[in-house]
Structure 1
Amino acid sequence: MGRLLILLIFNVGAWAVLRSLWPGLLQRWRLAVFASGTLLSLMPWAYSAVAGRHAQLPVGDASLRIFSVGWSVAIIMVVLIGGPLILLRRWLDRRAQKQATKVEPPANPPQVNLARRNLLTNAGRAVPLLAAGTSSVGLANGYTQFTVREVDIRLPGLPPAMDGFRIGQITDVHVGTFIDTRYLQDAVQAMNNAKVDLQVMTGDLIDDLDQLDGTMAALSECKARHGMLAILGNHEHWRGLEPILQAYADVEARGGPVRLLVDASHTFEHAGQTVRVVGVDYPMSGRSHRVKTQRMQASAEAGFRDVAPGEVVLCLTHHPDFFPLAAERGARLTLAGHTHGGQVAFLGVSAFWFAFKYMLGRYRQGDHQLYVSGGTGHWLPFRIGVPTEVTVLTLRATEASAAGRTS
């Protein structure tokens, strides 16, 4: 209900901004188009508020949600860009009037700098065109194929056996309305083609349980030497945890290459080196930060309890805020998702940088590193500057480690 109210306020605000910037725009049939667009864009949110947060419209759910995303982005841009232009124009007009009254007789009306005012007027009229264009580009990018992102991770003290170890990461696939199982199959095949040693899936795999069988079949096409390790995200908890747990268990029982880790760890040997991968559950904390912290602490204690000296420890977590707990317990590298990188970035800076402490890319804490993926899929198809990705991470020894190996 809160999102519905916010979007309604933005739509009313956009109407007021457009009326000020371009007085003749929203008249007659164009006003009817604007009102219809507002109603259609709010319909999915209104239905979810009544029928349940994750309820789908009985007819045209995907089409309406796509329209809602595009319309809402354009409306928000109109308010955020057009609003300051209106304020600037009014401030300049008032400033010009004050200056004019100081140098001219009171009987003469104050003169406004028409060239400057026309410039602001033309800029204001460009706002809806800019908003519509940006929205269209974002939607188009949301439907493009993922990129394969190669990332080198240099870790101090990395054992010689692990130098060159390759990990393929997918996360936040969200198989459902906008992402199908073929897309997931292509992502797994991309990791196979990259010949990674280990594949990982760091949560938010699926939104539509009707596609669960096909989803597990796609994951089972993993050809990595050490298979695929998966963890849970918040969407697994929301959509139906029990059938998802059962599906993972069935794959493992059939001898498939996929293993689910829930506050647990898995070990394997790579070139004689023991590697332990810890996978932690998502801290379903609701609105309480205290509960979230407690649940993360409990996951850390359970997941890392079997760590032994000499093991190379890696950590998989859906929520990147788990990183400090993993680093404290010796995880050389932590892989996370959840944020989608904000899905929108300009000049490499996320438009929602304030939403998460660890938003996108690499972070360090001492000799420990975190990589937060921008996501392999999405639950809303809109991206600008943050493409969907299948990540291929290659572990590299630092120069000091390499020198120690060759000496």
Structure 2
Amino acid sequence: MKRKNPLIPLALFLIAFFLINIYTLSGLQFLSGSPILPLIFWAVIASLSAALIIAFKRIQTNGMDQFFKIISHAFLIIVVSELVFAIFLLPGDVYRLILHQPRKYSWVVFASAMLIFTILIFVYGMLRGKYAYRVIRHTLEFEDLPAAFDGFTITQISDVHAGSFHNRKAVKKGIDLIHKQQSDLFVFTGDLVNNKASEIVPWMDLFSTIKAPFGQFSVLGNHDYGDYVKWESEANKRANLEQLKSLHGQMGYRLLLDEHVKLEKDGQSIILAGVENWGLGFGQRGDLRKALAGVNPVAFKVLLSHDPTHWESEVKQLASKVHLTLAGHTHGMQFGLEAFGVKWSPVKYRYAHWAGIKEDQGRYLNINRGFGFIGFSGRVGIWPEITVITLKRKV
């Protein structure tokens, strides 16, 4: 297979970035009329671009340090804000060109207001939005749910990414919100850390306070295996994973590694299974058949599997029906819009279903939007989620 040239998408991005900057400047210059504005504008863009190149070069020695985070986030805000400006300015420009009219001042003012609004909402997302925890509730009905589990509640969180946290007070508010749910069962569906087990250590005292009558259970996500950083040796990488597994136990979480447990209540039971990470493009380590070995095919089953592509590719086709699969992984890309009946995020172009409940012939999938954040140190429109699912017996 012929390898794609990585320079092609980079060249296309640079061309698009240059054109958007020209268009943005034309609008700003229309409002300002200042002869020095173009000089200031291009000086800022050139300086930021140069700083971004330096920041990427420093990754080899310094990793994604504070300098990288500041520059990359500033670049992201400018690119997205200019794109919003262009989107709102373009219809007016097309209209005036068709009618052979001059550019309207009011239309440029409106586009500029949207640019400023975009910058402000990104700043909010970085300062407050990433810790703006929401409880999202779902009630699911099943004809074959054991009667003893009618009304059984499950609290799910996913994608903690502890290495990204820096506000202990804010994280504690999220943990306190989990406590308030008083669910029967607590589950965590992977990506406890960004790369290294040590990242969760400063936060273990908070997460270990989470308790539920039927226990606390967890699985691993793609980031938990340490695949995205360089290790001195494979032995060190394996040791890091073993340490992380141990820390799950120290927090009071039963880590399910291609295995299942039976939850019993009033003489009846349901199966809770968990697999290692299985995802298209992110490693297919999990073994679902091993996890369900010895389970009665007609038993009611809940599965913890970090990546929702596992459900699409294997779980929902399995002969032994898995009634409910709980996943995470997508984060809703930490950016989008969920309001006024609109549900949109750029992540939809990678995952058709990227958050919430999906059903296929009585088999349900829930994708949690994530408790933490990674990459972009913020959340805009897609807030951190605590899911509470109530199981009901359909009469």
TM-score w.r.t. the length of structure 2 is 0.80
Q: Return the alpha-carbon distance in structure 2 between the equivalents of residues 137 and 182 of structure 1.
A: 17
**Long gaps (5+) in structure 2:** 1-5, 229-236
Deviation per CA, 1:76-111: give whole Å up to 9, x if none. 341354167347625642x33xxxxxxxxxxxxxxx
From the superposition, tell whether residues 203 and 250 of structure 1 become closer, same or farther in structure 2 (CA, over 3 Å).
Answer: closer
From the superposition, tell whether residues 247 and 182 of structure 1 become closer, same or farther in structure 2 (CA, over 3 Å).
Answer: farther
CA deviation after TM superposition for structure 1 residue 158, in Å: 1.5
Q: CA RMSD in A?
A: 3.2
Q: Which residue of 1 aligns with 2:72?
A: 68
CA deviation after TM superposition for structure 1 residue 363, in Å: 0.5
1:63-212 alignment runs, 5 A limit:
64-66=68-70, 68-79=72-83, 81-82=85-86, 85-86=89-90, 89=93, 92-93=96-97, 95-96=98-99, 112-114=100-102, 117-126=104-113, 128-179=115-166, 186-207=173-194, 209-212=197-200
Q: Return the alpha-carbon distance in structure 2 between the equivalents of residues 201 and 387 of structure 1.
A: 17
Answering whether residue 23 of structure 2 is matched by residue 17 of structure 1, we say: yes
From the superposition, tell whether residues 51 and 39 of structure 1 become closer, same or farther in structure 2 (CA, over 3 Å).
Answer: same
Number of aligned residues: 366
Q: Which residue of 1 aligns with 2:325?
A: 334
1:365-404 alignment runs, 5 A limit:
365-379=360-374, 380-398=376-394, 400=395
- Check conservation: 1:360, 1:374, Cα contact below 8 A: yes
- Check conservation: 1:85, 1:124, Cα contact below 8 A: yes
Compare 152-161 and 228-237 and name the one that shifted more.
152-161
**Long gaps (5+) in structure 1:** 97-111, 401-407
1:281 to 272, 276, 282: 276
TM-score w.r.t. the length of structure 1 is 0.77
CA deviation after TM superposition for structure 1 residue 10, in Å: 5.3
Q: Which residue of 2 aligns with 1:350?
A: 344
From the superposition, tell whether residues 47 and 137 of structure 1 become closer, same or farther in structure 2 (CA, over 3 Å).
Answer: same
CA deviation after TM superposition for structure 1 residue 5, in Å: 6.6
Deviation per CA, 1:191-225: give whole Å up to 9, x if none. 33322111111011112543333344443323211
From the superposition, tell whether residues 258 and 6 of structure 1 become closer, same or farther in structure 2 (CA, over 3 Å).
Answer: farther
- Check conservation: 1:312, 1:331, Cα contact below 8 A: yes
From the superposition, tell whether residues 357 and 264 of structure 1 become closer, same or farther in structure 2 (CA, over 3 Å).
Answer: farther
Compare 306-315 and 337-346 and name the one that shifted more.
306-315
From the superposition, tell whether residues 190 and 123 of structure 1 become closer, same or farther in structure 2 (CA, over 3 Å).
Answer: closer
Q: Which residue of 2 aligns with 1:35?
A: 46
Q: Return the alpha-carbon distance in structure 2 between the equivalents of residues 139 and 209 of structure 1.
A: 25
Compare 130-139 and 366-375 and name the one that shifted more.
130-139
From the superposition, tell whether residues 383 and 70 of structure 1 become closer, same or farther in structure 2 (CA, over 3 Å).
Answer: farther
- Check conservation: 2:144, 2:300, Cα contact below 8 A: no
1:231-380 alignment runs, 5 A limit:
231-237=219-225, 238=227, 242-249=239-246, 252=249, 257-283=252-278, 286=281, 295=284, 299-309=287-297, 311-324=299-312, 325-327=314-316, 328=318, 329-346=320-337, 347=339, 348-352=342-346, 353-379=348-374, 380=376
Q: Which residue of 2 aligns with 1:109?
A: none
Compare 82-91 and 348-357 and name the one that shifted more.
82-91
From the superposition, tell whether residues 133 and 42 of structure 1 become closer, same or farther in structure 2 (CA, over 3 Å).
Answer: farther
